[in-house]
Amino acid sequence: MASAYYSNTQHIDFESVLAMDDPGMVSMFQALMASGLEGFLGCPTVIYEAALVDFFENTSVQDGVIISTVVGQLVEISVEWFAESFDLPVDGLSEFSEIPKDVVFDARSIVSMLGEPVSLSGKKSQMKIEYLILCDIMAKSISVKAGSFNAITVEKFSMLTAVVCGVRMNWASVLFNILKKMVTWKNPAEPSGPTKI
């Protein structure tokens, strides 16, 4: 059961990928580092399954703070603690919907394998390999929604656009809100507002 929380996550060894002999791939990973996500995506994948199950089974959101118990110990996660733990940027846009449309259009051309802007309702096979990989990393490590990993969605492409075009995002807020959605998704009794990614 707990594997659903982390089975698709990606751990990136940035030192190794930056040593690759592929300028496109290196450039993409440098953009990923510049986004401020290195601490989050490079986090070691040490998972204690029982503690993870315990955390999600006993979690609620109160006054914007995630509260749980793990092995009988109280755990409180605030957005500030979350940002500090993963060294995440706290300045910038807090919603992907705030990314300017012209930037999204530019990204559709930048990532295209054929030079034509990729379709936001198409398949990832339209993208250059390095951006296809970036799309997978973002979708598997950051997205809370399940679905086909072969399709391009607005959510996945917005995440990719933020990295590729150097859009300054408040990743602490974005990722913390996704964690809160995971908590409320697993605890349907908890009140939740409209989903906005």
pLDDT in tens, 152-175: 778 888 999 999 999 999 999 999
Task: Output the average pLDDT for the chain.
Answer: 81
The first and second tokens of residue 112, run together, are 């295209």
Range of the domain at 141: 3-186
Task: Answer whether residue 159 is part of any domain.
Answer: yes
Domain total for the chain? 1
Q: What is the DSSP string of 158-187?
A: HHHHHHHTT--B-HHHHHHHHHHHHHHHH-
- Partners of 67 in the β-ladder: 60, 76
pLDDT tens sequence across 75-105: 999 999 999 999 999 999 999 999 999 999 9
Q: Among 80, 101, 75, 76, which residue's Cα sits nearest to residue 90?
A: 80
Task: Answer whether residue 162 is part of any domain.
Answer: yes
| CA distance linking residue 110 with residue 112, whole number of Å | 6
144 confidence band (pLDDT: 50, 70, 90): low
Angle CA 167–120–132, to nearest 5: 70
Task: Answer whether residue 197 is part of any domain.
Answer: no
Task: Answer whether residue 191 is part of any domain.
Answer: no
Task: Answer whether residue 192 is part of any domain.
Answer: no
Task: Answer whether residue 195 is part of any domain.
Answer: no
16 confidence band (pLDDT: 50, 70, 90): confident
Task: Answer whether residue 196 is part of any domain.
Answer: no
CB-side neighbour CA atoms (13 Å) of 47: 17
Radius of gyration from C-alpha coordinates of the chain: 17
Residues 6+ apart with CB under 8 A from 131: 28, 110, 111, 160, 164
Q: Among 86, 82, 80, 88, which residue's Cα sits nearest to residue 35?
A: 88
Task: Answer whether residue 64 is part of any domain.
Answer: yes
Name the pTM for this structure: 0.78
- Is residue 14 classed exposed, middle or buried when 0-12, 13-18 and 19+ CB atoms within 10 A define those classes? middle
